[in-house]
Amino acid sequence: MSELKEFLLPDIGADAADITDILVAVGDTIAEDQDVLTIEGDKASMDVPSSVAGVVKEIKVNVGDSVSEGNLVLIVEVAGSAAAEAPAAEEAPAAAPAEAAAPAAATAVKELCVPDIGGDEVEVTDILVAVGDTITEDQDVITVEGDKASMDVPAPFGGVVKEIKIATGDKVSEGSLILLVEAEGEAPAAAPSAPAEAPKAAAPAKAEVAVNKEIKASPSVRRIAREFDLDLNVIAASGPKGRTTKEDVQKYVKGQLQAAKSGGAGGLAVAAAPKVDFAKFGEVEVKELSRIQKISGPALHRNWVTIPHVTQFDEADITELEEFRKEQNAIALKQDLGVKISPLVFMMKAVAKALQQYPNFNSSLSEDGQSLILKKYFNIGIAVDTPNGLVVPVVKDVLNKGIFEICRDIAEISKKARAGKLTAKDMQGGSMTISSLGGIGGTQFTPIVNAPEVAILGVSKSAIKPQWNGKEFEPRMMVPLALSYDHRVIDGADGARFITAVNKHLSDLRTLIL
């Protein structure tokens, strides 16, 4: 004979909690103490066990519902309920129905064990109760400390402490016996109950004791993390209220495997950015990154963390260069050539000449990092600021082109860049990149190497400065230079030689034709 029983939410140690997962389906056969749903409150995520066994006939809640003690969760078909009544009848056949309730005052000694604490083994640092103390459900009874954090362990049921089975300094793990507790009210579990009555759970929900209480994740997710030896602190959470989901763990593992296959990350594990609700501090606006930023951002991050950067600083005297540039622009204007020479053109010529002198700068590391690929061409990338972000088109064969030809190339690719019409071919095949911020301002900056290139030149705003000529100080136009390079390929001495060569070519244009 079977009957339908209602499973109501037991005492969960909080006023209300949100349902984040339902672990059973209609038709499932469940056992007593089997977890049937996961809920999340302000302080922790927990799995809720069923106090009845049988077949699930109806599920009365949905994911996202807010529930509290006494809410109807499931309707379960329980088989053989009459058998549970038989022992009571045999023990007191002449007892009136009212007498059947007498065992409610009975007590039983129960074992209180360490719950799932999210780790293999921890040390007991404090015992918060004594023999004879009366404890309540969810009262902290011991403090333990693991590799990452200290935590208090709560009791899943109330009663009187009869015996303490551990001592300060002991090592414990999930399942270790902590206390023997004399708990009251165990007998009603065997007494008959009407379908409409709320079954009294022998124990509350199995609250997860988190290693880091700021992490919100269900016990099932924590188990997966422990199986793969993952730190939930470094996994970005995408669930409601900052909850780490199973999908978040899977995405993190997949990313780590891909990084390991590529070898590009060099085994670096980068912690996820903290999740912050900025709106609670004031008004905010969310603006999506541009397509260029989404593409270039990961590449810049990869280059910064995987390339050992060294930056060499210098200043070049471009007084004569500026005089010559202005003279040529005046001539070009009179002749209506439609070309205006910028300082960048001379920077490109100087870099191309230095690349010819120091071939290791015009190279790339092989994929296995065991050899150097030396390039015989001299193509210079130029960083272009566009409304959608920074792009780096490449001007080809700079060493063999004249000043006006390079000017026309720059004008063409800059126009395409700002119109968003650059092709992949326009941005490939560079020997080295120049990032010039001179037209905007600033005195110095550290540019990031644009891999697979091995060096980049940063140019800041030029200024008139007093320079000693051997007899007196005189005003000279000086431009700050910053050369960043890959220290795996280039040592400091060669870095100094290269930037000195660039300096020399900018200070004396005649050296460019030698």
Phi, psi for residue 272 in degrees, rounded to 5: -70, 150
> On the CB side of 264, how many CA atoms lie within 13 Å of its CA?
13
- DSSP-assigned letter for residue 152: E
For residue 372, give both structure tokens.
């150097």
With residue 224 as reference, give the H or E element that holds it.
helix 219-227
User: What string of DSSP letters covers 158-217?
Assistant: -EEEEEE---TT-EE-TT-EEEEEEEE--GGGGS---TTSPP--SS--EE---SSTT-EE
User: Nearest Cα to 412, choosing from 322, 330, 338?
Assistant: 338
Query: Which residues, 6 or more positions from 307, have their beta carbon under 8 angstroms from its beta carbon?
Result: 449, 451, 486, 488
Calculate the alpha carbon distances from 23 to 29, 36, 47, 57, 368 in Å.
Answer: 12, 5, 9, 14, 47
Angstrom distance (rounded) from CA 297 to CA 30? 50
Query: Which residues, 6 or more positions from 356, have their beta carbon under 8 angstroms from its beta carbon?
Result: 362, 378, 399
Residues with catalytic roles? 487
Phi, psi for residue 267 in degrees, rounded to 5: 80, 10
Q: Are 37 and 25 a contacting pair, CB within 8 Å?
A: no
Neighbours of 57 (CB within 10 A): 13
Which residues on neighbouring strands pair with residue 259, listed in sequence order? none
Between vectors from CA 443 to CA 438 and to CA 446, what angle results, nearest 5°? Answer: 90
Q: Are 345 and 396 a contacting pair, CB within 8 Å?
A: no
Q: Which residue's structure tokens are 């300094």?
A: 169
The order of strands in the sheet holding 134-135 is 107-113, 177-184, 159-164, 134-135
Calculate the alpha carbon distances from 115 to 10, 121, 142, 228 in Å.
Answer: 18, 12, 12, 20
Q: How do beta strands 380-382 and 432-436 pair? A: parallel
For residue 313, give both structure tokens.
């600083």
